[in-house]
Structure 1
């Protein structure tokens, strides 16, 4: 069973929330530094590839913003989310400094927080209770 079998394909808020949460986890928290609790994800790893890596992770971050648009978030929230992705991409493109920055500034986690706040207010049934 692979990831495609586990993620819902629906357009309902609960399905979209699960896809966004899975993308954020993969980009920001998929791996842990051995011997610590410090987590990092593909955003930091792919970002090590000069130029191309930053555009790939920007596209993945843009996917989260696109899904937020499908949820009906207000335009000002979408602009805020887009600015988070753009800022992360711009600073992440700076050699060495950008790679360290990617470990600390988690634009996708920030955007997930905006989405969760919106969903919890407007679609409380989309909350997933983890057990």
Structure 2
């Protein structure tokens, strides 16, 4: 009984403190708001919807970036202390070249994001590349760096940066009347 309570306390404490410090929001799923839960339990998730007002290309790019980020950061289906683990965590275990491979795959996520209409603005591209540089630097530190790398989740951060930017773009298109409804 005591070990079960300790385990529950540790999960809740670590999940809340890491999400506060590292901001580990899921780029692919969102929690269902309280007023839309219906018969589902609190904390249920659904796929994030593509923001309204985006072109077909931007919607496809956002979906691709979300999927890649999810695969690299959270997709393996097991959670350690409330923290999702993805393929980047496994790749980092390769001695010597693991950090370089993980950095390359993360760079591919940024390049995919750059395929939006008009490309990424310079400030957003710089922010995404800064996330990658921090992530790569952290990944070079043996063992402790791997743990921090798992918590930092640069790909998820970059997917959320793109999501927020495209939400603003879509909203401004709707407000300006430049929105073409896609089916």
Contact 1:73–1:118 (8 Å) recurs in 2:
no
Quickly say closer, same or farther: Cα 1:34–1:63, change in 2 above 3 A. Answer: closer
1:102 aligns with 2:126: no
Contact 2:83–2:151 (8 Å) recurs in 1:
no
Select which of 14, 27, 39 maps to 2:84: 39
Select which of 130, 154, 160 maps to 1:113: 160
Aligned to 1:129: none
Q: Deviations over 1:55-104 (max 9, x none)?
A: 11111111121122222221111011001011101111111111111121
- Note the 1:47-62 alignment, pairs <5 A: 47-62=92-107
Which entry has the higher C-alpha Rg, 1 or 2? 2
Secondary structure of 2:114 counterpart: helix
TM-score by length of 2: 0.57
Secondary structure of 1:50 counterpart: coil
Runs of 5+ consecutive residues of structure 2 not aligned to the other structure: 1-55, 172-178
Deviating beyond 6 angstroms after TM superposition, the runs of 4 or more aligned structure 1 residues are none
Runs of 5+ consecutive residues of structure 1 not aligned to the other structure: 1-10, 126-131
Find the aligned partners of 1:103 and 1:84 in 2 and give their Cα distance: 13
1:122 aligns with 2:169: yes
RMSD: 2.0
Structure with more of its chain in helix, by fraction: 1
Aligned residue-pair number: 115
Contact 2:79–2:85 (8 Å) recurs in 1:
no
Contact 1:27–1:42 (8 Å) recurs in 2:
yes
Find the aligned partners of 2:64 and 2:157 in 1 and give their Cα distance: 16
